[in-house]
Structure 1
Amino acid sequence: MSNSLHSSAFVTPRLVLKKVLAKSQHEGDGAVVRRGIGRTELKNLDPFLMLDHFSVSPPAGFPDHPHRGFETVTYMLEGGITHQDFAGHKGTIRAGDVQWMTAGRGIIHSEMPAEANNKGLQLWINLASRDKMIEPNYQELPSENIPTAEKDGVEVRVIAGESMGVQSPVYTRTPTMFLVFSMMPGSEWHQSIPESWNCFVYVIEGEGVFGCTSSSPCVAHHVLVLSLGDGLSVWNNSSKPLRFVVVAGQPLNEPVAQYGPFVMNTQSEIEKTLEDYQYGRNGFEMRKYWRSQ
C-alpha cells in the first residue's frame, strides 16, 4: 500500500488490535493493583506474563514470596519500595528508579512501601527454557542513570532498548524494549519497533490517539495490544499532558506453565518447582532460614 493512501511514517504501521481496561484488584497483603496483563481478557502477550499498576501504603505490602523462571521489572512512579531477598540483597527504589530482577532458578523476597503513598508499574517477562534455571541477578537503575531524550514536546525515558538515538545500558536476556513517554498537548511521535516483536502500550495518565489519526482516543489505565509492524505513531490532541509506556519483546514461542509466582514450560516442571520450594532445594535452600526484617 502506498504512503499516499495511509499517510504513515511506517511501511507497516502498528494499529490497536485490542483494548483492555486494567481493573483494580487486591494483591499481596492489602495492596491494590490494576492488572492489565495476566487477567481473563489478556492472559499473556508472549514474552510478557503480567503487568500491574500498583498502589500500596503502609502497613500493606508484598511480604516474603518466591519466584522462579522469569524476570520482574519494577518502575516507580511515586514514593518508594524497599526490597530485600534471601541472598542478602536490600535496597529502596524511588520515583523514577528501575529494578530489573532476574528470578532465574529461585528467589524469595519482600517488596514493602517506603513512604505514605507508593505507586509504580511491575512487568513480568518470561525467560526462555534454557534461561529459567540461571542464577538470580539484579540490575538497578537510579532515575539519574536512565537515558532520556526530548524532541518537539515529547520526552522519553529509555529503560530498555532505544529511542531518539539514545540507548539503555540494561541487558535484556529476553530481548525487550521498555520506553516511558511524556507528550505535551499538540505533540506527536513515531517510534520504530522491531517488526516481529509483540508490543503493547499502557496509558498512565492523559488521553492519546495511537496507531492512526482516525483511531478513537485512549485514556488512562488501558492496555493497548498492537498489531505487528515496524513502528507506532502517537498523537496527543488533548489539552493535557499524556504519559504512557511502550513495551515490546521478542516472542519466545514456548509453552507456558504457570502456578502463581512460578513460570516454567511444563506441568511436571511446576510440580518439581513446588517440591523444590517445599523442601528448600535447587535455589530455595535459604527458604527455611530466611525472613525479611
Structure 2
Amino acid sequence: MSVFIRSATVMQEGAGARVKRLMPLPAFMNFDPFVMFDHFELGAGTGFPEHPHRGFEAVTYLFEGEIEHRDNLGNVSRVGPGGAQRFTAGAGLVHSEMPSADTQTAGIQLWVNLPRELKGIDPSYEEAPADSIPEIGFHGGRERRIAGEQGRVSLRTPARYRHLLMESGSDFSLDLPEGWRAIVYLRLGAASVNGERLAPAQAAFVENESAIHIDAHAGSELMIAAGRPHGEPIRQRGPYVD
C-alpha cells in the first residue's frame, strides 16, 4: 500500500505535557528516517524539564505560545509562533523545553534519525525566528519551509519539512524524489492526501509515490515531513536512537 492513514494517540509526556503522538508507539515505532512525531500542547506549569538525548536531530515548530530551550552547551533561546529550533543530539545532549509565556503553547516536535556514520558527531543547536522562515504563496494558501531542502533550518538527512495553510477548495502538490517517504499530518480542517481523506490529528504515511497531492475541503493546516530513508536498523529506546 502506498498511502496509509494513522490517528495520533493522546498521552502525557514530560511534566504534564499533553501530546498527540503518531510515533513511537508499541505497534508503530518509526517511519525511516522519522523516529518521532508529537503534536504537543502545554499549559501553565507543564513542559519538558531537563533530560538527555543522543543519535538523532529534532525540530520543534510552534503554532502558538512561546518555548524556551536550554542545554548543556550553554544555549538559551526562546521561540514564538511560526518559529523553529533544531538540535542535533549526536553523541549526546542534555536540554529542556519549557513554555515561557502564560498563554497556551502548542507545536510539533519531529525527530529525524541520524545515519550510523553520524551518530557520534558533536551536538549542536540552531534557532529560527518566525520572520526568518521562507514563506511561499500559492493559489489559496501558503507554504512555510521550515527545515531541510529549501528550508530555514539545516538537517543532515535529505528531507523537506513544511507547514501548509490552505483555504477551502485549494490544492497543493509536492514532488518526491525516488525512494523518499512522507508524513502528512492534519492539524485543523479537512483534507485529502492522494485521494485519502484525513480528519484532524490523523496523518497520511506515503511511500512508493512520485508526489503528494493535497486537496483542502475546508480551511486547513497541515504539516509535511518528507525524507530519504537511511535503510539502517533503528534501535530506539526512550530518548536515545542508537
For Structure 1 versus Structure 2, the TM-score category normalised by the shorter chain is: over 0.9
* Correspondence for 1:210: 193
Provide the rounded CA distance (Å) in 2 between the counterparts of 1:99 and 1:200: 20
C-alpha RMSD of matched pairs (Å): 1.4
Among residues 166, 170, 173, which one is paired with 2:156 in the alignment? 173
Structure 1: runs of 5 or more not aligned: 1-14, 265-293
Structure 1 or 2: larger helix share?
Answer: 1
Amino acid of the structure 2 residue aligned with 1:103:
A
- Rg: which structure is higher? 1
Provide the rounded CA distance (Å) in 1 between the counterparts of 2:97 and 2:44: 12
Give per-residue Cα distances to partners, 1:110-150, cap 9 Å, x unaligned.
11111231100000110011111111111211111100111
* Correspondence for 1:159: 146
* Correspondence for 2:178: 195
Contact 1:55 1:119 in 2 (8 A): yes
Q: Does 1:232 align with 2:212?
A: yes
Give how far 1:161 is off. Answer: 4.3
Give per-residue Cα distances to partners, 1:67-89, cap 9 Å, x unaligned.
01101110001101111011211
Structure 2: runs of 5 or more not aligned: none
* Correspondence for 1:102: 88
* Correspondence for 2:203: 223
Provide the rounded CA distance (Å) in 2 between the counterparts of 1:70 and 1:92: 22
Contact 1:51 1:122 in 2 (8 A): yes
Give how far 1:249 is off. Answer: 1.0
Give per-residue Cα distances to partners, 1:5-55, cap 9 Å, x unaligned.
xxxxxxxxxx86221111210100111100012113421000110100001
Contact 1:195 1:231 in 2 (8 A): no
Provide the rounded CA distance (Å) in 2 between the counterparts of 1:33 and 1:20: 15
Provide the rounded CA distance (Å) in 2 between the counterparts of 1:100 and 1:258: 19
* Correspondence for 1:280: none
Provide the rounded CA distance (Å) in 2 between the counterparts of 1:235 and 1:146: 24
Q: Residue 173 of structure 1 aligns to a residue in which SS?
A: coil
* Correspondence for 2:126: 139
* Correspondence for 1:254: 232
Among residues 23, 33, 54, which one is paired with 1:37 in the alignment? 23
The alignment covers a number of residue pairs equal to 241
Matched-pair identity in %: 37
Mapping 1:70-109, distance limit 5 Å? 70-109=56-95
Structure 1 or 2: larger strand share?
Answer: 2
TM-score by length of 2: 0.95
Amino acid of the structure 2 residue aligned with 1:260:
G
Residue 229 and residue 206 in structure 1: after superposition, are their counterparts in 2 closer, same or farther (change >3 A)?
same
Residue 95 and residue 140 in structure 1: after superposition, are their counterparts in 2 closer, same or farther (change >3 A)?
same
